[in-house]
Structure 1
Amino acid sequence: MKTKPKIVVIGGGSGQPIILKGLKQYDADLTAVITVADDGGSSGTLRHYLDIIPPGDVRNVMAVMSNVSQDIIDVFQYRFKKEDEMLAGHALGNLIIAAMAEKENDIFRGVQILSHLMNVEGQIYPVANEPLVLHAEFTDGTVLSGEAEITAAHKVIDHIWVTPQENSGHAEAQAPSEVINAILNADEIVLGPGSLYTSVLPNLVIPNVREALKLTPAKITYIANIMTQKGETDNYTEADHVRAINEHVGCRVIDSVIMNTGEVPENYIDWQRWNEVSHQVASDPEEVRREGAVPIVGDLLQLRDDGAFHDGDTVAKLIMKIVDEKKIKN
């Protein structure tokens, strides 16, 4: 009997749903592990008032992994207008996730029940059952807490870590057993794409996640970002991203790196709209090899909305190729 390959996609932000949407076309057992350190926008407001994990990234992943009609997805993703006073800026799906968390008195269980109602194909796991606080120490020795503040500082980050909120009663951040088991039982683990220090690494520095990544027999693939980010990864090469991940985990865990060869046209980006990006990431496959990872290159570029994004279908094809090659070797 043919078994589906188990693929775990770890991240957050806008990049993760793009990859999951591409992978959904294949016969694979998908698990999304999602950061819970966001504290901006609608998610940050609900997190603050209701003391729940930020729901925005969970909502966007659920929308692409769901098999309900597009009409239902459109309602789920609907965002109230800015003149709607207390509801201004909130996505309906964020409110539904918040309601499920309160109803079940457990955000993780609430997400699982809602996933069933939304006919999600695969698993959606918040990386922790409580909101986490992101901390960063910069190269100048200063320290800031909170994702929004860290991003807004536009300073060079040395390293990050996460802690539970002060009122949680927990001394250390911890991922649920479902997350750890998914990592340990995976055939392929995919990291990114997304903000290195605020979407990808906040998942990986949770102590039991970090240990699971060291122990898993799965191949670990990093999808390199197309653009650098102001204050986070200015002047970073693809190898710099890989090095930062390995250093935060504590050993070389990245087996392969999916790297873009397509060139972003010089005058295409609307820098005012996409004001968090700086310039295209410098590509050096040999430098990536020196970090112990195999470079997998291709034109992954999708130009849309005056910005540069990954083509989810092309990336998914490369991920499935890695999975198939592992099967052949085994």
Structure 2
Amino acid sequence: MKTYRIRKPKIVVIGGGTGLPVILKGLRNQSADITAIVTVADDGGSSGILRQSVNIAPPGDLRNVLVALSDMPKLYEDLFQYRFHESDDFLANHTIGNLIIAALSEMRDSTYEAIQLLSQIMHVDGHVYPASECSLTLHATYTDGTSVSGESHIAKNRKTIDRVHVTNTCDNQKPVPARKVITAIKNADMIVLGPGSLFTSILPNLMIQEIGEAVCQSEAEVVYICNIMTQKGETEHFSDAQHVKVLHKHLGQPFVDTVLVNTEPVPDGYMDPTIYDEYLVQVCHDFQGLRDEGCRVISADFLKLSNGGVFHDGEKVVDELFRLVFGTKY
């Protein structure tokens, strides 16, 4: 049931992937003034094919965020999220929603405008902005000095990542933020990073220079929701403190105020490796390391087990976020 408040806290959530919608749904139910800033560096699957063939920003993460913040009937949601079977030749693996975003982007000559129009059509409660108005290419440099370009290629090498950066896909130039993104960050009461892949969902947004600078300069509480599991080719053997160290290293200064970490153990053998093959083991805890990074640590049971997968419990996380935002701003 939705909670209604006289004064809605302005919460900006930055990221991508499957973790972001879980938090957004919880925030929507708590009547937050939500802005989602979504990565546009995805170049795999349906999004990768469409961004090349139609020359648009990748629609997949934007699609999932729109659905998370929409109050449209379940049947419409299921249709928007429907993915064609692999045997369907040309339409294989495309979702209806991705195709609709591609069509509107072409009609309006702008993915940004397409998302704003769909937000109205889908009765989205909040604001959804791509981090940049054109697709971005994510580049990674490994600790052995080698490098690779393309989000979908980075984890495949199973090397330790040193740094990532982004460029415009169309001209390889320095990217700029989409309209209203910086204003939303400046006006935020809280900025939430994640949950999501550290190098391929969160950092691509912060590596747009103006976005990273705005987050660092913000007076809002900056909260990092640490992943529950390590990820193959990205954060293998990482502790929660190492996640934060990577963020601080990339932006050149400490800026994360609070870290939410799950302390509930995942049952042995629970995860289905045929479905969730990129996740390895639980992230280990280094509470002293987090404090050394200048972070307040909130550790609790944020775990939700579902269909052989490990997820954050959106309601528990959002309850903690609201305790934080009302404790620091109200």
Q: TM-score, normalised by structure 2?
A: 0.97
Aligned AA for 2:245?
R
Tell me the equivalent position of 1:117.
121
What is the CA deviation profile of residues 252-280 of structure 1, one whole-angstrom value per residue up to 9, with x for unaligned ones?
11000011010011211122321111110
Residue 305 (structure 2) aligns with = 303
Runs (5+) with no aligned partner, structure 1:
none
Q: Does 1:107 align with 2:104?
A: no
Structure 2 residue matching 1:115: 3-state secondary structure: helix
Indicate the residue corresponding to 2:201 in structure 1.
Answer: 199
**Of residues 6, 10, 13 in structure 2, which corresponds to 1:9?**
13
Paired amino acid for 2:277: N
Which residue pairs with 2:236 in the alignment? 234
Q: Percent identity?
A: 47
Question: Is 1:134 equivalent to 2:138 in the alignment?
Answer: yes
Q: Tell me, in whole angstroms, the C-alpha distance in 2 between the residues paired with 1:177 and 1:85.
A: 37
Q: What runs of 5+ residues in structure 2 fail to find an aligned partner?
A: none
Q: Does 1:33 align with 2:33?
A: no
Q: How far apart in 1 are the matches of 2:159 and 2:324?
A: 36
Aligned match of 2:64: 60
Which 4+ residue blocks in structure 1 deviate beyond 2 angstroms? none
Any idea what the Cα deviations from partners look like across 1:109-129, whole Å, max 9, x if unmatched?
Answer: 111011101110000000000
Q: Is it true that 1:96 corresponds to 2:103 in the alignment? A: no
State the secondary structure of the residue aligned to 2:31. coil
User: Counterpart of 2:187 in structure 1: which amino acid?
Assistant: N
In structure 2, the residue matched to 1:182 is 184
Q: Contact (CA 8 Å) 2:56, 2:110: kept in 1 or not?
A: no
- Which deviates more from structure 2 when the two are superposed, residues 207-216 or residues 92-101? 207-216
Give the alignment partner of residue 54 of structure 2, picking from 38, 45, 50.
50
Q: Which moved more, 1:223-232 or 1:265-274?
A: 265-274
| Per-residue deviation, 1:136 | 0.2
Q: Which secondary structure state, in structure 2, belongs to the residue aligned with residue 8 of structure 1?
A: strand
Q: Provide the C-alpha distance between the structure 2 equivalents of 1:59 and 1:231, rounded to a whole number of angstroms.
A: 26
Aligned-pair distance for 1:3? 2.7
The one-character-per-residue Cα deviations of 1:60-98 (angstroms, maximum 9, x if unpaired) are 111110111111111111111112111111000000001
Question: Helix, strand or coil for the counterpart of 1:24?
Answer: helix
Deviates more, 1:182-191 or 1:268-277: 268-277
- Which residue number in structure 2 is paired with residue 314 of structure 1? 316
- In the alignment of these two chains, the number of paired residues is 326
Whole-Å separation in 1 of the counterparts to 2:72 and 2:55: 29
Alignment equivalent of 1:157, drawn from 138, 161, 186: 161
User: What's the offset of the Cα at 1:4?
Assistant: 1.3
Cα shift at 1:286: 2.1
Equivalent AA in structure 1 for residue 87 of structure 2: E
Partners of 1:203 and 1:279 lie apart in 2 by 26
2:26 corresponds to: 22
1:150 and 1:323 mapped to 2: Cα distance? Answer: 35
Which deviates more from structure 2 when the two are superposed, residues 300-309 or residues 193-202? 300-309
Could you tell me how far 1:216 is from its partner in structure 2? 1.2
What secondary structure sits across from 2:29 in the alignment? coil
Shift of 1:283: 1.2
**How far off is 1:51 after superposition?**
1.2
Deviation at 1:308, TM superposition (A): 1.2
Inter-partner Cα distance in structure 1 for 2:202 and 2:270: 27
Instruction: State the match for 1:250 in structure 2.
Output: 252
